[in-house]
């Protein structure tokens, strides 16, 4: 029997519903898994019939339909406009995720793929989360977690996630770097079946600080964290200057780069794999992936949203499930 992967629609005023439906037209995905879309039916085209619509999780039935749609019926069509930030859409996007986590923890589904939400809409709805990653961590009572972005040529994990640059620098510590290294090592070993992951750590400062001349964070935090990781048997090297280490990793010298802050890691990754990169939340007790793009309000309703990153997110979730 095929395993079931849950897919949440994200912010329904964005391109989430479009890329989900486009992705699930991919026959290779349907051959591998069954899918449970979690959302609100009002987000779909009125003539969409390629699934079994249900309102109770006990009515799941994949014998006839490889795609089931669990309609939470938690928003009305007049409560939002396509392509606009709306607190109602922020609220229901989190409700979709909450239901998906509930079903995953109860073993009804084996993994979650989340379409993008809008952080401003979530905050307007009264939720103090900087993104889906933090919300998932709260729902699963996970204290240590991070983002790892995955593409064919490059994997990047982050020590700090959605913070201002000033706060990200303030938050860097030996413990935070060490925890990130350990999470990445465990994830690559368990979910990607890399026996001895080769982990590269990027410096914070140019040229790895030039021995302290360009900053002392390397000496104070990064090198001690690397040394501690080595003592625990993890193969980790660095700190490397950020202007070279991503290139070296794409050439196969390392399996992943640990970057100190969001844009340090995501700029090179998106330059190489803008339409195919996938976000994996590392450290959760469940598998969660998502496409590495936002809600794209500017193209909603035009029918031109590219589903490639969503397809890759679904493929990666399926791959990780089968590797565990």
pLDDT tens per residue across span 100-149: 999 999 999 999 999 999 999 999 999 988 789 899 999 999 999 999 99
Assess if residue 258 is contained within a domain.
yes
pTM, full prediction: 0.93
- Quote the CA–CA distance of 40 and 25 in Å, as a whole number: 19
Same domain, 305 and 232: no
Q: Which domain holds residue 300?
A: 1-128+286-324
Residues of the chain with pLDDT > 70, as a percent, come to 99
Same domain, 166 and 261: yes
Same domain, 180 and 298: no
Strand order in 52-54's β-sheet?
Answer: 52-54, 67-71, 34-39, 4-8, 111-114, 288-291, 278-282, 146-150, 155-158, 256-259, 199-202, 236-240
Same domain, 40 and 172: no
The pLDDT of residue 209 is above 70: no
- Quote the CA–CA distance of 268 and 219 in Å, as a whole number: 25
| Total domains present in the chain | 2
**In this predicted structure, what is the pLDDT of residue 208?**
75
- Quote the CA–CA distance of 168 and 35 in Å, as a whole number: 37
Whether the CB-CB separation of 20 and 115 falls below 8 Å is answered with: yes
Same domain, 214 and 266: yes
Q: Which of 266, 260, 262 is nearest to 159 (CA)?
A: 260
The token pair that represents 251 in the structure block: 């050439």
Phi, psi of 193 (to 5 degrees): 55, 40
Same domain, 272 and 309: no
**Local confidence band at 318 (pLDDT 50, 70, 90 cut-offs):** very high
């Amino acid at each position: 029997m095929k395993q079931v992967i849950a897919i949440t629609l994200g912010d329904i005023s964005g391109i989430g519903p479009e890329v989900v439906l486009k992705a699930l037209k991919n026959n290779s995905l349907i051959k591998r898994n069954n899918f449970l879309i979690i959302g609100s039916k009002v987000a779909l085209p009125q003539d969409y019939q390629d699934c079994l619509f249900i309102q109770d999780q006990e009515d799941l039935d994949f014998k006839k339909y490889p795609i089931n749609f669990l309609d939470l019926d938690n928003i009305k069509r007049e409560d939002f406009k396509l392509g606009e930030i709306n607190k109602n859409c922020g609220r229901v996007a989190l409700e979709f995720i909450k239901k998906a986590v509930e079903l995953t923890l109860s073993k009804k589904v084996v993994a979650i793929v989340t379409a993008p939400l809008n952080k401003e809409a979530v905050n307007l709805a009264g939720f103090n989360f900087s993104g889906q990653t933090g919300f998932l961590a709260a729902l699963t009572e996970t204290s240590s977690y991070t983002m790892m972005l995955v593409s064919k040529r490059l994997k990047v994990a982050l020590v700090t996630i959605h913070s201002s640059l000033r706060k990200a620098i303030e938050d860097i510590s030996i413990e935070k770097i060490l925890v990130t290294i350990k999470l990445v090592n465990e994830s690559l070993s368990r979910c990607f079946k890399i026996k001895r992951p080769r982990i590269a750590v990027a410096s914070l400062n140019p040229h790895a600080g030039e021995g302290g001349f360009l900053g002392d964070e390397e000496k104070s935090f990064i090198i001690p964290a690397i040394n501690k990781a080595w003592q625990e048997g993890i193969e980790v090297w660095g700190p490397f200057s950020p202007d070279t280490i991503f290139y070296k990793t794409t050439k196969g010298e390392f399996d992943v780069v640990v970057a100190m802050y969001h844009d340090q890691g995501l700029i090179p990754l998106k330059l190489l794999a803008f339409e195919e990169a996938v976000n994996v939340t590392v450290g959760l007790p469940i598998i969660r992936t998502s496409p590495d793009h936002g809600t794209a309000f500017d193209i909603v309703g035009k029918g031109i949203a590219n589903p490639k990153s969503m397809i890759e997110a679904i493929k990666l979730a399926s791959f990780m499930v089968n590797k565990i």
